[in-house]
Structure 1
Amino acid sequence: MAAPTGFSLKDMTGDWVTHKGLSDDYDPVLALEGVPWWKRQAAGIITVTERITHTKDDKDTHKIVIEKRMTGGFKAEDEVLVTDGSIQSLSHSVFGNVKVRSEWSDLSEVDDKWLKEDWNHGSGENDGVNDAQHIKVSVSNDQLGWDLTVVWGFVLIDGKYYHSRRMLCRKGDQVAKAQIIFAWSRRG
Structure 2
Amino acid sequence: MSTPSVPDSVNIHNLNGTYIMNKQLSDPFDAILTLQEVGWIVRQAAKFSSVSIKVEQADREDGINFVNITQTSSGGIRSTEERTMDWTWREKKDNIFGLVKGRSRFCKVDEIEDEYLTSELDKKSLEADGNEVVNSITESVDLAGDQWNATQVWGFEVIDGVRRHVRRILFTRGSEVHKLKTVYDWKEE
Regarding TM over 0.5, the answer is yes
Q: 1:70 aligned to 2:73?
A: yes
Q: TM-score scaled by structure 1?
A: 0.88
User: Which whole-Å CA distance do the structure 2 matches of 1:171 and 1:153 have between them?
Assistant: 24
Q: TM-score scaled by structure 2?
A: 0.87
State percent identity of aligned pairs: 27
Deviation at 1:100, TM superposition (A): 0.8
Q: Which moved more, 1:54-63 or 1:83-92?
A: 54-63
User: Which whole-Å CA distance do the structure 2 matches of 1:161 and 1:20 have between them?
Assistant: 16
Higher relative contact order (CA 8 A, sep 6+): 1
User: Which whole-Å CA distance do the structure 2 matches of 1:143 and 1:34 have between them?
Assistant: 11
CA contact (8 A) 2:125 2:156 kept: no
Q: Which runs of 5+ in 2 are unaligned?
A: none
Partner of 1:177: 179
Provide the secondary structure at the position in 1 that maps to 2:127: coil
4+ residue runs of structure 1 moved beyond 6 angstroms? Answer: none
1:25 alignment partner, one of 13, 19, 28: 28
Partner of 1:137: 136
User: Which whole-Å CA distance do the structure 1 matches of 2:131 and 2:102 have between them?
Assistant: 19
CA RMSD of aligned residues (A): 2.0
Q: 1:8 aligned to 2:11?
A: yes
Q: Which runs of 5+ in 1 are unaligned?
A: none
| Alignment deviations for residues 124-167 of structure 1 (CA, whole Å, 9 cap, x no partner) | 5341xxx4511011011132311111110001112211000111
Structure 1 segment 82-121 matched on structure 2, within 5 A? 82-121=84-123
Deviation at 1:77, TM superposition (A): 1.8
Instruction: Give the number of aligned pairs.
Output: 183
Deviation at 1:42, TM superposition (A): 1.2
User: Which whole-Å CA distance do the structure 2 matches of 1:37 and 1:158 have between them?
Assistant: 33
Q: Which moved more, 1:33-42 or 1:167-176?
A: 33-42
